[in-house]
Amino acid sequence: MKDKLFLDTNVILDLLGERDPFYESIAKIATLADKGKIKMVVSALSYSTVFYILSKFEDKEVVKDKLRKFKVIAETSDLTDKIVDKALVSKFSDFEDALQYHCGIKSECNIIVTRNVKDYKESAIPVMTPDEYLKSLKNK
C-alpha cells in the first residue's frame, strides 16, 4: 500500500517558499508524490494560510501559480462542519492543528508530516518530520 501523507501547513510553506534548511527534504517528498510513489493530502485551510504568508514576500500571482502547480500533486481534504466539531472537542491544545489532524483522519492518511511533531501528541497515527519520513523509507 502506498503511503498517504497528510502535510501540515508548515511543510507546505517550506516547499513553496523554498525555506532553508527545510526545503530539500519536503521537495524530495513532493517528488515522490509527483512520481506516484506516495500520495499527499492537504487541508483546504492550508491554501489560504500559505497564500497569506507567502504573498507577504512574493507577488500574489506568483504565489497563486505555485499553489496551482502544487495542487496537481496533492489531494485536498475539505474542511467540513463535522471536522470543525471534532476539532472543537479534541484534546489538541492548538485548534488549527486539531483541524489539520481531523482533515488527515477523514482523508484516511496513514502519516502526518510536520516540523511540529510535539503539536500532534494526541495523534492516533504516526507523526514525522520530513527528514524522519525519508529515513523511514530507507528502512522499508
136 CB-near residues (< 8 Å, 6+ apart) = 128
Domain 4-138 in this protein, CATH class: alpha beta
The Cα-based distances of 94 to 89, 98, 116 in angstroms read 12, 6, 11
DSSP 20: T
Listed as ranges, residues in the chain with pLDDT below 50 are none
Closest residue by Cα to residue 123 from 20, 46, 8, 40: 8
What cell was used for 11? Answer: 511543510
CB atoms closer than 10 angstroms to residue 90: 16
Residue 140, pLDDT score: 67
Residue 138, pLDDT score: 86
For 73, the enclosing helix (H) or strand (E) is helix 60-73
Residue 75, pLDDT score: 98
Domains of the chain, by residue range, sit at 4-138
